[in-house]
Structure 1
Amino acid sequence: MLHIPLWKRIVIWGLCALGVLTAAPNLFYGRVEGHNDALVALERNGAMTPEQEAARAAWPDWLPSNLVNLGLDLRGGAHLLAEVHVEDVYEDRMNGMWTEVRDRIRDATGTARRIQSPPDELRVRIGDPAKMAEAIEAVRDLASPVVTMTGVGQSDIEVTGEGDTVTVRLSEAERAATDDRTMDQSLEIIRRRVDEVGTREPTIQRQGGDRILIQVPGIGSAAELKALIGTTAKLTFHPVVSRTTDAQAAPGLGNILLPSADVEGEYYVLEQAPVVTGEELVDAKPDFDQNGRPAVGFRFNPTGARKFGDYTAENIGQLFAIVLDDEVISAPQIQSHIPGGSGIITGRFTVEESTNLAVLLRAGALPAEMTFLEERTIGPELGQDSIDAGRIASFVGLAAVVFFMVASYGLFGVLASVALGLNIAMIFGILSSIGGTLTLPGIAGIVLTIGMAVDANVLVFERIREEMKTARGPARAIELGYQKAMSAIVDANITTFITAAILFFVGSGPVRGFAVTLSVGIVTSVFTAIFVTRLMVVTWFEHKRPKTITV
């Protein structure tokens, strides 16, 4: 006969209460969002403004404060599609190898001189062509195996010789591995930069071989996002060869000519190979110099600190250029040995510029330049229109379902409608708890779930009708109705869940948002239909003890 143990009733109602409680903050979205932003500001800065204090107090700390994040199409924001110039990394790799290649060839042949070559190659002229074999063998000793997820592959460089010229280039396997590393590094650095400004649930994902899709809800415009992401923030420290005012001056082989960021018309000739790079930075923060002007303090890791310290000790009195994105922002004279690996970058900064530069340096330098192929700004008004349209669709669908359920099944339809309300609350509660993002297709998934949620109840109620014709009493009819409808309910929802899983793993962007809400809706629908509605029916039956029931 009908019987549900007390512990099971407590668990069912407890889960329902938990779902309602975790969904409740979304009814006070602006207030809770302000409270969360104030807590983030406190954690990041160690203090809050009076406005942030008021925002924090607007929502009790002891209540849940997780929200369903609104996607780009609901909140508004910026959309960018960027192409990463992965070939830039090949040139940097060749420049970085030059010192070691030169020393190896000199030891083997006596002389080595770099000559003009494509960006992805390193060509070196030797003095004695008869020693070409020795030169090639010496350079090949620099090779290392290409390590990938599938194991250790071929050598990372190819070394050939023709006449008196040794040519070094990256192997195809190393190019592919370098491309993957470059894209992964770019993705991670973009994610760090976006996270630094406190945006919620950005979409940052690789598309194809060399493109990155970036969608950031809540940011003002695509131009603002480009300014944040597009700056490579490539920091290097170079020895200064000379200064000049001639923009067309020939820097000489192995040197580069870069403009000064402070003095218009002034240029520096620098050694191309940097002493230290920004990759060896472990910290950067806004600071002030000895004259009280905004600056950026930095600190190197042990490797960078050792290189920085050794160079300053050996070159006291020389100029040392600090280069950011191919501009010399400062070229101080080395006054003394600088141990410890820390220093300060001075320039004509404002406080805001020094703060932004510190953010970029902390996040790391982009390994290669990016070109933005597509950019869109979605205004918050459009997002609000989408929310309003989705809300209307949800209410209309909900009202229609409730009307037909009550009209068709009477009291049982009322109980199913109550369970439907709990179902929707649990969907939002789960999305809030997991930090899910709600998009316009996601709203469509919720609307679809509203219609699907009562399917299981319809199967049960129709089965109860059939059992009332043959079963001995209403209690037995209710019990058999739930038992015999169970297989059909499970089969129907499993197939839908599999479809949602395929959409999630194969799709991207809005399609995945639809799949997430649909999957969550399936789980909560089955729970409310099998457990919640049944518990309400059993509770009613125990209280009324009717001799017959009308479904």
Structure 2
Amino acid sequence: MKTLFSRALVYGLIILFGLLSALPNVLPESTLQKLPDWYSHNQLTLGLDLRGGSHLLLEVDTSELTRNKNPALHDQIVRDAVEQSVEVVRRRLDETGMVEPMITRQGSDSILVQLPGVSDPHHIRELLGTTARMTFHWAANTHSPGHTQLITVEGEGGERYRLEERVALEGKHISDARLAFNPDSGEPVVNFKLDKDGARRFGDMTQHNVGRALAIVLDNKVITAPVIRSAITGGSGEISGSFTSASANDLALLLRAGALPAPLKVIEERTVGPDLGSDSIAMGVNTGIIGALLVFAFMLGIYGRWGLIACVGLAVNIGLSFGVLSLLGATLTLPGIAGFILSIGMAVDANILINERIREETRRGETAAQALRAGFQRAYSTILDSNVTSLIAISLLFLVGSGPVRGFAVTMAVGLIISMFTAIAFTRLIMEWRVSKLGRAPLKISGLTWLDKVSENTIPFLRARFFGIAASAVLSLAAIGLFFSPGLHYGIDFSGGTVIEVSAPETNVSALRNGLSAQGESAVAIQEFGNEGHYLLRLPMQSAEDVASGESVQAIKNAVQAIAPQAEFPRVEMVGPRVSGDFGDATILAIIVAGLGMLGYLWARFESHFALAATLTLALDLTKTIGFFALTGVEFNLTAVAALLALIGYSVNDKVVVFDRIREYLRINPNKPLVQLLNESITSTLTRTTFTSVTTFLALLPMAIAGGSAVSSFSLPMLFGIVIGTSSSIFIAAPILLWLGERRMRQGKSQLHVVNETQREIDLLP
């Protein structure tokens, strides 16, 4: 794979395979129907926030199962109960005929259910919230043995039954159950069939108890208690009661699917209407295309034909990313689109690093081939370090996030990994082909003349180190103060509660507020939202029981529809106290672990004082970003957490570039005064720092302007963070590194590892 032709052949095959994998996503349905299923189904799955649907997080309540059990067995009992519950939930949803429900285990005792196309999951909540444990008990009478334990069970109509506690027959023996109608009364009933063992037992027990009432108990409530008139030996029976056709059909479905081993409680619900989902797709696609075009225009304007090569590499990167995501069966979410747009801006960073390195080598008088080789060689370690630090933060986001936020992490990670291939392998291949035509002529890559002139002379940035640190400290302290007062505007991910988006064009805030108050819903906060006639209704944190039943949401919907019968509910989000608490703990843990991960990696790749300087600067960057949330009132939710962790990766990425140049200059001239060396390093990377920040900013700008509230918690703080992270690399990280470096010098320690990293990096080059 050393020759230009052999590499072109291999890279071409890889790109062709990736683009073919992405192709089914853009083909019309008529064409897909003519292709094999294995290929036509190789597509990205749209998340519920893009295609509409409902998301339910269910907690398996195993408290009764583990009560009085050996603690050493608790984990195994919980695992078994959750696994059985997943299967029962899957059977129940399959029985409803629902299309493509997604049921996955989440955490140690929860089940995530995603229901595409379901805009009102009220009925599904009832099906999944019913344990459906059916048992048969004989009614207590004079035939009951004296030592028999008796229980009192309430019936459907409120009547009470005295029953033998001993279970005469368990519902697990029911092999089938169907809706039917009594031929005499015409009322809906449920006909059931028993398995072989159940039929034998049922025949024996009815034969010996003619004249006794046999109660059928479902989840501790008597449905019916018919008197046995004769032995029932056919292995079938009928359940009658005050059924409607719908309730009888639901009961039959539950009996067919089987009983849950433990109750399921809804602890989180999110619903998105199909219209809102399609609007999100349009917004994401449009802002993504505009952002990509702005980046392309910038690269072409700065680097000319060499910028065109970078744009071709970026286009290949986009195609390959969709191909890999399709191959993985990934789910594309709205935050995932935001992550993909961010990855476009960050992917150009490698091309900018390479181009600027080549320009430096050209100014030293190197030939085109030598400048190209040296440029890639010197940029390689920086590209590797900057991408690894970003991937550390993103991997933590995947581990602690859920649903759409995980989609962001996956798209970002795939985009960054593929960008390394396109920059180091594909772009280099094209540039080598272009250079082969130049012969011994110099390789000329254009840039900004005025910025080049600024960078020709060393800028004494560190003269402003005291002012920079002081200003940063003041801003960070002010941000901490804003965190406590007025504080963050927490979304329901962290505060818990309910948010209902209402579309009722013929109403106004006053009418809606008065109507809700009149119907006993005065605790609802109403906010005008988006277009006229659109509102956000907010309820504060509710008890776990309220969330599990969903009655509060249904009551508000009924109240709104009493005021405005044509009202629609494009979005409903309900988060219980346990989920919001878990999100808070996971966020704090993720930020701490991300910081420690960066510290460890930089310590290993550079030295302890480099790692400490980056970590301390990162802490200052994060406090300012938190202050931005508090000052602007931008909602702090899970998408905001994605922004914080992305900023951690981006900020450290920027500092790695400067640190890498400092390391390089230290190897060349370790005896040069540290202040001068740092100033030279910052000046020499100023062009790259400026260009990378501009491209990332441009990629996100359309989303920040036109994305709306759905992505404002990500795009707005990211724009702020790009400015803060870029400036802190120069005015904060470098001064801290200077002070720590001078301290090491006084201690007689070297500034760098003794290991010959340069040779190792050369060996790693493709």
Shorter-chain TM range is: 0.5 to 0.7
Q: Per the alignment, in what secondary structure is the counterpart of residue 216 of structure 1? A: strand
Other-structure match for 2:170: 277
Query: Which residues in structure 2 correspond to 1:534-549 (within 5 Å)?
Result: 534-541=428-435, 547-549=441-443
Q: Residue 495 of structure 1 aligns with which residue?
A: 389
Cα deviation 1:413-457 (Å, max 9, x = unaligned): 112212212211222222222221122221111011101111111
Q: Which residue of 2 aligns with 1:78?
A: 54
Which residue of the partner structure matches residue 390 of structure 1?
A: 284
Query: % of aligned pairs identical?
Result: 37
Corresponding residue number in structure 2 for 1:51: none
The code of the aligned residue for 2:120 comes to S
Structure 2 CA distance, aligned partners of 1:398 and 1:418?
12
**Which of 233, 257, 260 is equivalent to 2:132?**
233
Q: 1:271 to 1:434 in 2, by over 3 A?
A: farther
Task: Write the mapping of 1:40-439 to structure 2, written as runs, cut at 5 A.
Answer: 57=33, 61=37, 63-80=39-56, 82=58, 85-89=61-65, 170=69, 178=77, 181-183=80-82, 185-194=84-93, 197-200=97-100, 202=102, 214-239=113-138, 241=140, 253-257=149-153, 259=155, 270-279=163-172, 284=176, 286=178, 298=193, 300=195, 305-306=196-197, 308-313=199-204, 315-316=206-207, 318=210, 321-325=215-219, 326-328=221-223, 331=226, 335=231, 337=233, 343=236, 347=240, 356-357=250-251, 359-372=253-266, 375-439=269-333
Show CA shifts across 1:313-337 (max 9, x none): 3542646554444343685766354
Local SS of the residue matching 1:454: helix
Aligned residues: 430
User: Does the 8 A contact of 2:368 with 2:443 survive in 1?
Assistant: yes
Does the Cα contact within 8 Å between 2:79 and 2:108 map onto a contact in 1?
Answer: no
Higher strand share: 1
**315 and 327 in structure 1: CA distance in 2 versus 1, 3 angstrom threshold:** closer
In structure 2, distance between residues paired with 1:544 and 1:411: 14
SS at match of 2:135: strand
Deviation of 1:511 (Å):
2.9
CA distance, structure 2, for counterparts of residue 201 and residue 416 of structure 1: 42
CA distance in 1 between counterparts of 2:194 and 2:440 reads 79
Q: Secondary structure at the match of 2:259?
A: coil
Q: Distance in 2 between matches of 1:546 and 1:276?
A: 92
Greater Cα offset, 371-380 or 347-356:
347-356
Give the residue type in structure 1 aligned to 2:119.
G
The answer to which of 182-191 and 524-533 deviates more is 182-191
Residue of structure 2 in register with 1:101 after alignment: none
Aligned CA distance change for structure 1 residues 489 and 186 (closer, same or farther; 3 Å) = same
Amino acid at match of 2:130: T
Counterpart amino acid of residue 15 in structure 2: C
Bigger relative CO (Cα 8 Å, ≥ 6 apart): 1
Give ranges in structure 1 of 5+ residues lacking alignment: 36-55, 91-119, 121-156, 158-169, 244-251
* Residue number in structure 2 paired with 1:114: none
Name the amino acid aligned to 2:285: R
Q: CA deviation at 1:17?
A: 1.8
Q: Distance in 2 between matches of 1:285 and 1:13?
A: 58
CA change 1:322–1:468 in 2 (3 A) is: same
Q: Counterpart of 2:302 in 1: which secondary structure?
A: helix
Q: Which amino acid aligns with 2:115?
A: V
SS of the equivalent of 1:491 reads helix
From the superposition, tell whether residues 68 and 334 of structure 1 become closer, same or farther in structure 2 (CA, over 3 Å): farther
Unaligned 5+ segments in structure 2 are: 143-147, 446-766
CA RMSD for the aligned pairs?
4.1
| Residues in 2 aligned to 1:469 and 1:187: alpha-carbon distance in whole angstroms | 65
Alignment match, 1:22: 21
Verify the 8 A CA contact 2:140 2:150 in the aligned structure 1: no
Partner of 1:142: none
SS in 2 for 1:238: strand
Cα distance in 2 for residues equivalent to 1:299 and 1:544: 85
TM-score where L is the length of structure 2 = 0.49
Residue by residue over 1:258-302, the C-alpha shift from the partner in whole angstroms, topping out at 9 and shown as x without a partner, is 537xxx798765433324434456x546587997998565564xx
Q: TM-score by structure 1 length? A: 0.65
For residues 15 and 506 of structure 1, do their structure 2 counterparts lie closer, same or farther at Cα, with a shift above 3 Å needed? same
Paired position in structure 2 for 1:519 = 413
Could you tell me how far apart the structure 2 residues matched to 1:480 and 1:388 are? 44
Q: Cα–Cα, structure 1 residues 222 and 451, in superposed 2: closer, same or farther, change >3 Å?
A: same
